[in-house]
Structures are given as C-alpha cells and as structure tokens.
A = this chain, B = another copy of it.
C-alpha cells in the first residue's frame, strides 16, 4: 500500500453500542473530509457490566473486523474498552495508531484546571477500573480525582430523555452521593460516550466556574492531532463518507443512534456483521 492510498483509508471507530456515535459526530465536525467507518458491537452491549477478559476479547474481534475492511487509524470510542483493552488493541493495530477516549479527556481536564479536583462521571466498569484516576495522576500528581458511577444516565440518554425533571433529578441524586467538598469540583469529565447528550442537564447541576470536559470532542481533537503528526496528514478534499456496522439490532441502532448522531437513520443505513 503506498502512502497516498493509505491516506484515503477511512478512520475506524469502535464502540460497544451507539454511544460512540457522539465521538463519530465530533470527528465529522473536525475532519469533514475523512471517510469514517463505525462498528457498534450491539450484540454484546453493554461492555460496562462485563469482565475485563471478555471486554478485551470483544474489542480485539471488533478491531479485526475493521482491519479487514482497511482503516488508517482506530478510535476506541468506548470508555470501558479504552480502560481495559487499549494496549492489546495497539499491539494488534501496529504500526497504525490507536486513540482511546480516556487519555484525551484526562489531558483536557488537567490542562483546564492544573492541580484541581476532577469529578469523573462514568459507568460502573470504568469507575471500578480507575482508568481516569490513573490517566490524570500520570499527568498531574497534585490533582484530586473523584469517580462516580452513574449507570442510569446511560439508559436516560438511550431513551432520549435528555432534559426535563427526570434527567435533573437523576443527575442530582447521583451528585448527592458525593460529600459537600467533592460536590464542588474544578472540572467534570463526561467519562461515558452517552453523557454528551446530557451535557446541559449535567452542566446546570454545577456552578458556573466548573469546566465541563466532553470526551467526545477531546477525542476528536486528539485524532486530528494524530493525523497531523503522521506523514499522511488529514484529507483536505473528497471523502466524508460514513459506513455504519453493528453486530445486532439494526432497527434499534437506527432509532437510538439517530439521536446520538444528530440526524435520522433508518435500519437500511446499518450493515449487520458477525464477529
């Protein structure tokens, strides 16, 4: 494969389900000429409740599917898989690059509030793996990290109930689990790809000075930087195509995914693949 061909390969985006479409949407915004191929492993979602061994095996199978189709960069748009399987995926993709969602979010939070207190809202699995804590402390040993599992926010986003009193009460109930001190963080990291849909209701639960770190847009920015640092660079013209793959349930993927992507999808837009 020569360099010019490689540059025209799509960016592969992988998630356990539809949540990673918030990352895909952010990628389209900053890299409008890149072709994108997305794989949602909907047959085995949610990864958040699975064991690390299973998550790693699933992520490697999904990546293999994208590699067979040809990609120049893999974006792991799933916090759980980023926390558990990133090194395995880097080995599998070598020498091509892999970007997870945790590192860019951690970097952005530390840059926004050096030495600050960071509140990470995430799934139970991401919290139990302490992935954000480790990523933040690797960059800023003075930082304080509080991780809070907010499992109900996932189903809230998928149901499309992203505003109104139910969303507000659920966010406030989770925050009530924090004590007074940690309820006033310097930054709040949306540490699950579903949570950018709830950004407004989450933001409204905090004081004005709090930095909200959206891991979808920080990851898209990291992909942009990565392409610029590669000899390939990013595409300046053409491209812009989108291919959506899922391992099950095209109808539900289209209905819920459309909300995440910000435009209507039909089941015919989704190709079902077997891993």
Contact = CB atoms under 8 A, between A and B. Distances in A.
Contacts of A42: 49
A252 to B, nearest CB: 6
Nearest 3 pairs of A and B residues by beta carbon? A155-B155, A166-B169, A51-B248
A39 to B, nearest CB: 16
A8 B100 CA distance: 53
Interface stretch (A105-113, A130-138, A156-164): A156-164
Given A166-B169, A170-B166, A248 B54 contact: yes
Interface in A166-183: 166, 169-170, 173
A252 B151 CA distance: 12
A160 to B, nearest CB: 10
Secondary structure call for the A interface? helix
Nearest to A50: B248
B159 A49 contact: no
A209 interface: no
Interface in A40-72: 42-45, 49-51, 54
A249 interface: yes
Interface in A243-275: 248-249, 252
Given A166-B166, A166-B173, A249 B154 contact: no
B166 A159 contact: no
A170 B248 CA distance: 28
A140 interface: no
Contacts of A152: 152, 155-156, 159, 161
A154 B50 CA distance: 17
A173 B160 CA distance: 13
A165 interface: yes
Interface in A10-54: 42-45, 49-51, 54
A173 B151 CA distance: 20
A159 B170 CA distance: 11
A151 to B, nearest CB: 6
A231 to B, nearest CB: 42
A94 to B, nearest CB: 29
Given A43-B51, A49-B248, A49-B249, 7 more contacts: A51-B248, A54-B248, A151-B159, A152-B152, A152-B156, A152-B159, A166-B173
